[in-house]
Structure 1
Amino acid sequence: MNPISALFDYCKSTYFLWRLNGVSVLSCAVNLACLVLVYAIIPLESKRYSKLRHRFYYYYPQIKRNKPKALDPLRVIIQTVYLIFVKQNHRDTTNMSILMDFLIRKTKAYIIQPVIRLTDLYTQKLHQHIRASEKILPQNKRNLSLLFLILSFLASIVAISQPLDVRYQFVFVFLMWITALILKSVKNRVSLMLLIVISIIIATRYIYWRIHSTLLLVDTFTAICAITLLIAEMYTFVILILSYFQVSWVLERKPYPLPKDHSLWPSVDIYIPSYNEPLDVVKPCLLAALDIDWPEDKLNVYMLDDGSREEFETYCKSIGVGYIKRKEHNHAKAGNINHALTKTNGELIAIFDCDHIPTRAFLQMTVGWMVFDKNIALVQTPHHFYSEDPFEKNLSLKGKIPAENALFHDFIQKGNDTWNATMFCGSCAVIRRAPLEEIGGIAVETVTEDAHTSLRLNRKGYSSAFISMPLAAGLATESLADHINQRIRWARGMIQIFRIDNPLLGKGLTIPQRLCFTNAMIHFLHGLPRIIFLIAPLPYLFFNVYVIFATGLAILSYVFPYMLHTTITNQRIQGNKRFYFWGVIYETILSWYITLPTLIALISPKHGKFNVTSKGSSNDKDYFDWTVSKPYIFLIFLNFAGLVYGIYKMIFDPYAEISTILINLGWVSYNLLVLGAAAAVALETKQVRASPRVPCAIDVVLEYSSGNAINAVVKDFSKNGLALELPNFRTKDKMLSDLFYENRTVYITFTKDEINYRFKAQVRFSQNQKIGVRLCLENKQQEIEYIRCTFASAERWTHSFDNLTQDSLAHGIHTLIVFGLNGYLKMLKNAPHVFRELLWVVIKCLMFGFSLLPHPLDMNSKIYRKNAIR
């Protein structure tokens, strides 16, 4: 066919399709005209451009295939320029900052790598020399190390304290930035340590500059504002240094093998404490605990019921689980466990929250270290959640970002393990009975009894370990309000420990242990500093009060490098465990609510009580939680007023310092985006199912009549149902799924460890190639076997976020803007009519401006996985 005729037919059919989708005539005309122009200039139909055609909607995510807008050609042009000149963290992308990439590659090839090889060679020769002169060189080695440390310290002092004017400060930080970019691309521990050193030098230089040169104390109000901000910054500086120390060298501990002789394996008591959780939530945990792979004569499972419920007692007796209750219900969970200690006698105690389901391999993966090293009193594993937390659920981010708790449970605990300071987290852990009884049982003086207990074990000289494998999975907090209440308890409890049993004081702890525990505790004081940062630019915008007395250029030359190097270093350290800006959003959500409890605990540590986090609930409609959002709305109002007034001053005030106002307006705009993202989480999405579904891909055999069976794939499962994907073929002019009508009985066979498990089920729905079934488990043994095949499978949770690609800074900024604006849209849609109409025009203008900005490539998108890596 003639190419022109083919193009004409394509444009004609495309026009009618767009019009059917509601696209205006103007938009159709503009987009088709530009399409014809592009085809006239570039032969996109040729094979040479097939890759671009396949990946078009990956490279241009802001363009909608079947509903274009009039200004889409402009968006394509802006995005194309962005892709050409901005480097993407993508293995196929050739568009980049060519000069910068060239410099980095050449520096690595001709400077960094030779230095590393020379260092390795020198180290080998030094070791040989040491072995040859064992009696003489140890002292020389210590002297050389001491001399090196002294010289490094003196050089750092000079770099930190040397006064520079703005021009030379920019030169200094530019050189540090180039060095950091080069080091960031070199994946070894030496480069990481150098990155940390550079970040600390830049941060310390900033704090020194703030104290030495930027305080203007001309009146009381100015002094209060300036000193308050400085104290908040010094707090974040201390947290930064402690965090670098804590995770600078993480320990990747693997399970230690158990003796082949089972008689050497210790006896284990499994404790499952409960207070007010429904029995349906607790049942899977009890059944999975009974099925743990451990000698039967050395394993006892106990339900610790602090609610004294008859139905729990009856059920536990029916399945063979020990049932323990108490008359007095003092000290909450800690008192419950301590009471059980007096009723059992196992050598080890494994503790699970009643909503956590342990895998069969839990004890075999953890107890080996306790058999090998009798001084290890605690082995902790990560807390993993198979349900969506409020951030994943309310923002539809399941599997797209690391879970909120991933940074601590999957990373920071590894750093704690390096320094023998692993923290007990209350569940998914094994504790040795004798040391626990030696310290008087679980600590009862604070509401975070778990962390306090691990601190006391370390004070007694016992060791702890962390196995970085999710060996159990539970239910996450189900609403933002529940999440906040849980974190309030954690924050209050950690500050209580800091006051009652301060890790910096007393005997028994090493210096690294003191620093790790201190960082974990004072981290929860972040509420007040975060609020200070959210309102810090307002005194200048409203009252011309200099909280930082410096020129706009000077502020940029110190503040921006501090933030940049902190961001680069943390990204290098944390990898895909935390994406850009999410830490700030998490802290902002909690800041208002934890400020008062932590300050009260700091003054009067005995105040506060233990509150239980509810699990297993549901809501039947979407709703915006205005109660939780009140603090964010108040802070949004303040910052928005500051933004408007700052723009007014910049336009009408003849004496306005434009550069300083612009910096403060940028600060306010950033605060508004963070607060908008925080508000976005407050729209609670509909959750009808009390039992969440877990995505998976399990091959099964589906039997639908006697002698007739097909292979199928389980795509997700819950405690009582499955969703299956059927093969794509027809039989007798019908789709295969048509055979599975509602209420039809089927049988599903799982194969695990070469054993077949067959379960009866009823079809609940059938659509296309998918069917949903409800299980008909007939007895305790079948319930255990089903959990064994699903929740308690040893490999079920081990690769939950391994497929996430490390976030890029450009994508992080884009995500912050998206969710910031999304938060305001959610508030507008759920706000009173007058308020909604008032701000709708402003939000639409902001969204239009944002739609013209280039979009970074999302390497975690489905389009990328399907097309970009083909």
Structure 2
Amino acid sequence: MLAAESTVELFLTLSLVILGIFSFNLLLLTLARLLLPKRRMATAEPSDTDLPKVLVQLPLFNEGELVERILSAIMALDWPRDRLQIQVLDDSIDGSLALSRSAVAALSNAGVEIELLHRVDRTAFKAGALAAGLARSDAPFVAIFDADFIPPPDFLRRTVGALIAQPDWAYVQTRWAHLNREENLLTRIQARLLDSHFGVEQEARWRLGLPIPFNGTCGVWRRAAIEDAGGWEGDTLTEDLDLSLRARLRGWRAGFIKDLTVPGVLPVSTRAWRVQQFRWTKGFVQCFIKLLPQIWASPALPRWQKLMVSLQIGQPLAFLLGMSCIILGLPFIAGEMVAGETLSRIALVASTLGFLAPISFLTLAGTRGGARQTAQEVLGALVLTSGLLLSNARGGLEALLGYRTEFVRTPKARIQSGPRARGWSGGLMELGAGLGLLGFVLLEEPFAVIYLAIVISGLLGVGAMQILDERMPARVANTQP
């Protein structure tokens, strides 16, 4: 019995230590963003006659209703038409493919260099579509946009100009904005989370000289870098992170343009958001397993950067570790085990960092709407992210076990028959776990409710919101600029 107690305490202590390290890393990035000076970026401004050819790739899957809008935005780009090649990479399996064909045919008849690529076999999913399109072009630069984003007219001038000025850069990543930020509380919370990622984390990495991960859309790649890094690969669910890190390990660098924003659409339903976060979490952990040995063996990165990159791609494991801490902590809540002095101190430090780091990180993203709205969004982000504990922990565990799942596009509209995590009834798992944890704590140690309030509230909130989503009528998200 004593051996079992020691084992539980050891694993709980190790889990809390790792969680504390993840939180400390987030706090360091927040401080770097706050204290380090802005970094300048050189940009070339070649004449129109010297501008290079650019391939614009638009990967779609069952999103035909967005194709006309994204093509209108592409046609409005300030770039010579004879230097612009457009590919609509539509692997749709619903009726939306006809909309893509119609839109592409209309532009083709008007003299635009555009083609539609439709694959019956979705091998490697988005990565496979991008690779298939790249093989049909010789353009030296490649811009990539998901269908729900609207690039501004000067997008190529600024991004390609930066790549021309820095020949050792593989790509330039720009910042996402949000067309439907104010649609509901969920979209405001998502916007806060993404603003923190781009405005704090990405900007901090840029100022520190750390590798800038590609976010899958709203960026321009140098074709030579894609090929040198081994091309697009579909063995992870985050092909964007995978390729960007492989390019860095080959010696390529990247740039981040914070003040060049590209507005897109946020998911309006909790279930769609959960599907998206599951994919991102699992994909990051897959990259962690795939690339960690290469990162530490590479001469392209100094050791401190290897450590920072390892923490970056391993960060989503915090969900799996967090769930482990809750399970391992149940005997202590019930009074069956008593925490030693070391565990108590580590738990205090990890908990302090676990609150201080994300609150600072989320708050630094901005205070638009005033202090009250900012506090609401920050608290909401903490609660709802905690509500993803079960789903994201499962994603991390599946990645560690090598279990493969398909790439599921995130639906932006509220739908009643969209992608659902296999075997997980919408919201019932989170709701049941939240109620079970609440009941256990109230029976065994009511004071512990304070410590677990955010997790319990998150599970109950995410569970209830998904159940409400099922009962609300299907509708399209507000996507007007």
The TM-score bracket by the shorter chain reads: 0.7 to 0.9
* Alpha carbons 1:388, 1:478 under 8 Å: kept: no
- 1:601 corresponds in structure 2 to 399
Q: What is the Cα-based RMSD across aligned positions, in Å?
A: 3.2
Which of 37, 42, 49 is the matching residue for 1:263?
49
Q: Secondary structure at the match of 2:427?
A: helix
* Alpha carbons 2:58, 2:144 under 8 Å: kept: yes
Which of 439, 444, 447 is the matching residue for 2:237?
447
Which of 62, 66, 75 is the matching residue for 1:276?
62
User: What count of residue pairs does the alignment treat as equivalent?
Assistant: 449
Pair 1:541–1:499, CA change in 2 (3 A): closer
Q: How does 1:506-655 map to 2 (within 5 A)?
A: 506-507=297-298, 508-535=300-327, 538-546=330-338, 548-550=339-341, 563-564=351-352, 567-568=355-356, 571-572=359-360, 574-577=362-365, 580-604=378-402, 607-618=404-415, 627-646=426-445
Pair 1:316–1:569, CA change in 2 (3 A): closer
In the TM superposition, what is the alpha-carbon distance from 1:419 to its structure 2 partner?
Answer: 2.4
In the TM superposition, what is the alpha-carbon distance from 1:523 to its structure 2 partner?
Answer: 1.0
**Distance in 1 of aligned mates of 2:45 and 2:139:** 19
* Alpha carbons 1:268, 1:347 under 8 Å: kept: yes
* Alpha carbons 1:402, 1:577 under 8 Å: kept: no
Supply the AA of the counterpart residue of 1:644.
L
Q: Secondary structure at the match of 1:529?
A: helix
Supply the AA of the counterpart residue of 2:68.
K
**1:396-422 CA deviation, whole Å, 9 max, x = no partner?**
366589533222122211122232401
Supply the AA of the counterpart residue of 1:304.
L
Q: Secondary structure at the match of 1:382?
A: strand
Supply the AA of the counterpart residue of 1:438.
D
* Alpha carbons 1:229, 1:533 under 8 Å: kept: yes
Q: How does 1:198-237 map to 2 (within 5 A)?
A: 219-237=2-20
Q: Secondary structure at the match of 1:383?
A: strand
- 1:437 corresponds in structure 2 to 227
**Distance in 2 of aligned mates of 1:385 and 1:378:** 22
**Distance in 2 of aligned mates of 1:526 and 1:237:** 10
Residue 149 (structure 2) pairs with residue 351 (structure 1): no
Pair 1:344–1:586, CA change in 2 (3 A): same
Pair 1:312–1:522, CA change in 2 (3 A): same
Supply the AA of the counterpart residue of 1:587.
T
Q: How does 1:129-140 map to 2 (within 5 A)?
A: none
In the TM superposition, what is the alpha-carbon distance from 1:545 to its structure 2 partner?
Answer: 1.4
Supply the AA of the counterpart residue of 2:124.
H
* Alpha carbons 1:349, 1:433 under 8 Å: kept: yes
Pair 1:470–1:399, CA change in 2 (3 A): farther
Which of 125, 137, 140 is the matching residue for 1:332?
125
Residue 74 (structure 2) pairs with residue 289 (structure 1): yes
Q: Secondary structure at the match of 2:146?
A: coil
Pair 1:470–1:618, CA change in 2 (3 A): farther
* Alpha carbons 2:27, 2:360 under 8 Å: kept: no
Supply the AA of the counterpart residue of 2:476.
A
In the TM superposition, what is the alpha-carbon distance from 1:219 to its structure 2 partner?
Answer: 1.6
* Alpha carbons 1:384, 1:470 under 8 Å: kept: no
**Distance in 1 of aligned mates of 2:459 and 2:432:** 8
Supply the AA of the counterpart residue of 1:611.
V
- 2:266 corresponds in structure 1 to 476
Q: RCO higher in 1 or 2 (8 Å CA, sep ≥ 6)?
A: 2
**Distance in 2 of aligned mates of 1:609 and 1:669:** 34
**Distance in 1 of aligned mates of 2:353 and 2:62:** 47
Q: Secondary structure at the match of 1:627?
A: coil
In the TM superposition, what is the alpha-carbon distance from 1:560 to its structure 2 partner?
Answer: 5.3
- 1:837 corresponds in structure 2 to none
- 1:45 corresponds in structure 2 to none
**Distance in 2 of aligned mates of 1:399 and 1:504:** 35
Pair 1:581–1:293, CA change in 2 (3 A): same
In the TM superposition, what is the alpha-carbon distance from 1:252 to its structure 2 partner?
Answer: 3.9
**Distance in 1 of aligned mates of 2:179 and 2:307:** 32
In the TM superposition, what is the alpha-carbon distance from 1:352 to its structure 2 partner?
Answer: 0.3
**Distance in 1 of aligned mates of 2:456 and 2:123:** 44
Pair 1:298–1:253, CA change in 2 (3 A): farther
Pair 1:248–1:480, CA change in 2 (3 A): same
* Alpha carbons 1:402, 1:576 under 8 Å: kept: no
- 1:154 corresponds in structure 2 to none
**Distance in 1 of aligned mates of 2:385 and 2:317:** 10
**Distance in 2 of aligned mates of 1:231 and 1:692:** 45
* Alpha carbons 1:290, 1:301 under 8 Å: kept: no
**Distance in 2 of aligned mates of 1:385 and 1:294:** 25
Pair 1:237–1:400, CA change in 2 (3 A): closer
Pair 1:249–1:603, CA change in 2 (3 A): same
* Alpha carbons 2:23, 2:358 under 8 Å: kept: no
Supply the AA of the counterpart residue of 1:506.
A
Pair 1:230–1:371, CA change in 2 (3 A): same
- 1:487 corresponds in structure 2 to 277
Residue 111 (structure 2) pairs with residue 312 (structure 1): no
Residue 195 (structure 2) pairs with residue 414 (structure 1): no
Instruction: Single out whichever of 334-343 and 313-322 deviates more from structure 2.
Output: 313-322
In the TM superposition, what is the alpha-carbon distance from 1:318 to its structure 2 partner?
Answer: 0.4
* TM, length-normalised to structure 1: 0.47
Identity percentage of aligned residues: 20
* TM, length-normalised to structure 2: 0.82
* Alpha carbons 1:421, 1:464 under 8 Å: kept: yes
In the TM superposition, what is the alpha-carbon distance from 1:222 to its structure 2 partner?
Answer: 2.4
* Alpha carbons 2:169, 2:254 under 8 Å: kept: yes
**Distance in 2 of aligned mates of 1:572 and 1:584:** 12
**Distance in 2 of aligned mates of 1:425 and 1:636:** 36
Structure 1 stretches lacking a partner, 5+ long: 1-217, 648-661, 694-717, 719-790, 792-870
- 1:782 corresponds in structure 2 to none
Q: Secondary structure at the match of 2:153?
A: coil
In the TM superposition, what is the alpha-carbon distance from 1:338 to its structure 2 partner?
Answer: 0.7
Supply the AA of the counterpart residue of 1:514.
K
In the TM superposition, what is the alpha-carbon distance from 1:474 to its structure 2 partner?
Answer: 1.8
In the TM superposition, what is the alpha-carbon distance from 1:559 to its structure 2 partner?
Answer: 5.5
Residue 96 (structure 2) pairs with residue 298 (structure 1): no
Pair 1:639–1:566, CA change in 2 (3 A): closer
In the TM superposition, what is the alpha-carbon distance from 1:464 to its structure 2 partner?
Answer: 0.4
* Alpha carbons 1:269, 1:344 under 8 Å: kept: yes
Pair 1:221–1:593, CA change in 2 (3 A): same
Supply the AA of the counterpart residue of 1:505.
W
* Alpha carbons 1:639, 1:671 under 8 Å: kept: no
Instruction: Single out whichever of 428-437 and 634-643 deviates more from structure 2.
Output: 634-643
**1:506-538 CA deviation, whole Å, 9 max, x = no partner?**
323333442333122211112222224445553
Q: Secondary structure at the match of 1:412?
A: helix
Q: Secondary structure at the match of 1:440?
A: coil
**Distance in 1 of aligned mates of 2:408 and 2:274:** 12
Q: Secondary structure at the match of 2:22?
A: helix
Supply the AA of the counterpart residue of 2:201.
I
Structure 2 stretches lacking a partner, 5+ long: 109-113, 367-374, 418-423
